[in-house]
Amino acid sequence: MAESGGLKVKQTCAAGLSRFISFASEYDTPKIVHVKSKKVGLVNRFVQLTVIAYIIGYVIVYKKGYQEFDDVESATTAKLKGVIYTNLTNISDSLNDIINHRIFDVADYVIPPQETDAFFVMTNMVFTPNQTQSICPEDPSMANVNCTVDSDCPKGAPVINGNGVRTGTCNVETKTCNIYAWCPVEKDVLPLPNDSILKDSKRFTVLIKNQIEFIKFGVKRRNVIDIINDKNYLRNCTYSSTSEIDRFCPIFELGTIAKYAKVDYDEISIKGGVIAINIRWDCNLDYSEKQCRPEYSFRRLDNKDVNIAKGLNFRFANYYTDNNRNSRDLVKAYGIRFLIKVTGRAGKFNIVPLFLNIGSGIGLLGIATILCDFLMVHCLRKGYYYYDRKYFIVEDVDKEFSESYQEQVTSSQLQPQNEEEHVRSRVGEYNRFRD
């Protein structure tokens, strides 16, 4: 028993092993019809060439198909520098006395003081100081009614687009209704007709610090880099796209930014606008990390020809209590909003994408075959000669299979005596196939 059992095991083992070996030493490969035909051959080679050129030239070399990629992770901070003294003696408007002779420094013109990937520089303003909650006539430019008697000013609900709620009385001088509001109401007129108060802000500088990381590759870079071995360089440089060195300087003059963005600073500073500062990190980590440096570009984002709410402005107020009166200074700030957009990706050699691209390339080569088969069979005068050699017809056997198998083989493998007949059948087959 045991013996025979042992024997069985041995046998199964042996069987399994031999089967495995024969399995491992097999190999299936399609039988190829090697056609020699100038016409088809040329087409074939041409298509193959195109595909190979596409794969190698475009996918692998141009699109770096041999690399795996990672997108950039970034953090930015912006710090402005600059002071302006406004000397607007030409302005009589008493309201603006306060800003006629005034120093504007960072704390004054950067609002809010800090943002994520953005900063705002006030370039123009409508200043309305010492407002208190009280009663005063509506701003004529706002009022949609020219009142003469109180009955023109129905007391009640707030005027959504106005500055306050009507008290029900009419102010005969201004010909506008009296309202309960922050008084005096803002006169929405720019202090200078076709100019901005702080257009000299073009001389301000901003230091942009940008830390990036390609997490997949564990590579950290920053845009504050010592191009030259001069400790003081970074303190005093300013960005210039033309200079080999200064195009890596992280300090930008606002005027320069506008220039590169093809914006007239004097014009944009009147009504405000939005300018994007793009920082592009395209890094090929197959080379030295040191090569991984930012590229700056600038462009205006808002549309200067828009017909409503042109430019960029917003209102904010400083609140305080003076002699127990709750007051505020209202500021309508016009200015330029700078958006810092950091993009980029790093590539590093990796076998997997290369493998995949080659694989898919091989797949594409199939197109050549399909095309040429079609050509060969349908377009060549002797198509059915090739068809005959490419296709090997196997009839359905479900019916006449009763006949001995061997005959089947002979009849279809080595054509028997009556060749013409066979051929005829084939040609018919071909014609059916053709149309």
Give the Cα separation of 41 and 46 in Å (integer). 8
9 versus 75: smaller Cβ distance to a copy of itself: 75
339 touches a copy of itself (CB under 8 A): yes
Q: How far is the CB of 264 from a copy of itself (least distance, A)?
A: 18
Q: Is 45 in the site for a copy of itself (CB under 8 A)?
A: yes
Binding mask 236-255 for a copy of itself (x = CB under 8 A): --------------------
Judged by beta carbon, residue 129 or residue 168, the one nearer a copy of itself is: 129
309-338 mask for a copy of itself (x: CB under 8 A)? x--xxxxxxxxxxxxx-xxxxx--x---x-
Which residue of 204, 260, 265, 334 would you call a contact of a copy of itself, by CB under 8 A?
Answer: 204
Prior bond of 184 cis (ω within 30°): yes
Residue 349 binds a copy of itself, judged by CB under 8 A: no
Question: Are 313 and 272 spatial neighbours (Cβ–Cβ below 8 Å)?
Answer: yes
Q: 419-434 vs 383-390: helix axis angle to the nearest 10?
A: 100
Minimum distance of a copy of itself from residue 137's CB (angstroms) = 15
- CB–CB of 184/59 below 8 Å? no
Retrieve residue 185's tokens. 């109401």
Could you say whether residue 23 binds a copy of itself (CB under 8 A)?
Answer: yes
> What minimum distance in Å lies between the beta carbon of 195 and a copy of itself?
18
Position 392 contacts a copy of itself (CB under 8 A): yes
User: Residues near 182 by Cβ (< 8 Å), separated by ≥ 6?
Assistant: 131, 132, 133, 163, 164, 328, 330
Q: Could you tell me which stretch among 8-16, 143-151, 155-163, 254-262 binds a copy of itself (CB under 8 A)? A: 155-163
In the numeric block, which tokens belong to residue 287?
């080379």
CA–CA gap between residue 305 and residue 186 (Å, rounded):
26
Interface of this chain with a copy of itself, residues 63 to 122, rule: CB under 8 A: 73, 75, 77, 79, 81-85, 98, 101-103, 105-108, 110-118, 120
Give dist(CA 201, CA 162) in Å, integer. 32
Q: Interacting stretch for a copy of itself, rule CB under 8 A, among 161-169, 191-199, 254-262, 286-294?
A: 161-169
> Which H helix or E strand runs over 133?
strand 118-137
Cβ proximity to a copy of itself: between 148 and 318 the closer is: 318
DSSP state of 387: H
Number of residues binding to a copy of itself, judged by CB under 8 A? 154
Which one of 1-9, 147-155, 189-197, 408-416 is the stretch in contact with a copy of itself (CB under 8 A)? 408-416
Among positions 53, 243, 423, 428, the unique one binding a copy of itself when judged by CB under 8 A: 423
Binding site, annotated residues: 79-81, 205, 313-315, 332
431 class by beta-carbon count within 10 Å (0-12 exposed, 13-18 middle, 19+ buried)? exposed
Binding mask 272-311 for a copy of itself (x = CB under 8 A): --x-x------------------------xxx--xxxx--
Is there binding between residue 133 and a copy of itself (CB under 8 A)?
A: yes
Distances (CA, A) of 340 to 247, 274, 301, 435: 17, 11, 12, 63
Tokens 């009166």 belong to: 325
Q: Which one, 172 or 409, has the nearer CB to a copy of itself?
A: 409
| Burial of 333: CB neighbours in 10 Å, binned 0-12, 13-18, 19+ | buried
End-to-end CA distance of the chain: 70
